[in-house]
Structure 1
Amino acid sequence: MTPDTPMPDITVDGTGLLCVTLLLRLRKEIDGAPPGTVIHVIATDPAAPLDLPAWCHITGHHYLGPVTDSEQSVYALQLAADVLSTRGGWDGTATIAKGEAHPQREEPGGQDGS
């Protein structure tokens, strides 16, 4: 463990899982964990270094990066407060913890990219 990487409160073993299944397991394992909880995710999916930071960006959790002193591919993240839920609402839209519909995010510069 490097000084920059906090010790995990929860370790999620995603060995052999592809991204979607890994994220479903991650969501299940962190359910009910308080903000500030440090998670280490063991992942063998080659897309994990892209998918985990993207998931954190979408939900609002903090991606801390790879755990460099591990023999396995391990990634650290920290749970945040007031994050977006990844559970869909009855109409398939993402929901915020308070049950409000997720607002559409606009790209910088508008729809034409300017």
Structure 2
Amino acid sequence: MTHQVPRQATFDGRGLLCVTLLLRLRAAIADAPAGTLVHVRATDPAAPLDLPAWCHFTGHHYLGPVDEDTYALRTAADPAPTAPGAPWHRPAQP
């Protein structure tokens, strides 16, 4: 029996406002395998609220704070898409 070591990644979003942070985070983890543990570094005061809400919206699994400015999430197998310039909206339907 083989065991795969879970993949890990760190995303440094310090200094970014949450909308920009979420757009860049989305791009950074777009090709990450399901189950990847992602540590997100964020200094925006809204991050403790926005990250879990965004994870819920997209289907990623918010794991909680790691320390003062680092939060953890685990990538979903099939996250819900969001609009290109808006992390809080679904893509427009044709």
Name the structure 2 match of 1:80.
76
Name the structure 2 match of 1:110.
none
More helix by share: 2
Alignment of 1:48-63 (within 5 A): 48-63=47-62
Report the RMSD for the aligned CA atoms in angstroms. Answer: 1.9
- 1:20 & 1:8 partners in 2: Cα distance? 26
Query: Aligned to 1:27, what secondary structure does the other structure show?
Result: helix
Higher relative contact order (CA 8 A, sep 6+): 2
| 1:31 positional shift | 1.4
Instruction: Figure out how many residues of one structure are paired with residues of the other and give that number.
Output: 83
Runs of 4+ in 1 over 6 A off after TM superposition: none
Alignment of 1:1-114 (within 5 A): 9-68=8-67, 72-88=68-84, 94-95=90-91
1:8/1:40 contact within 8 Å kept: no
- 1:9 & 1:23 partners in 2: Cα distance? 18
Query: Aligned to 1:67, what secondary structure does the other structure show?
Result: strand
What are structure 1's unaligned runs of at least 5 residues? 1-6, 96-100, 102-114
Identity of aligned residues (%): 64
Q: TM-score, normalised by structure 1?
A: 0.66
What are structure 2's unaligned runs of at least 5 residues? 1-5
Give the structure with higher Rg (CA): 1
2:37/2:72 contact within 8 Å kept: yes
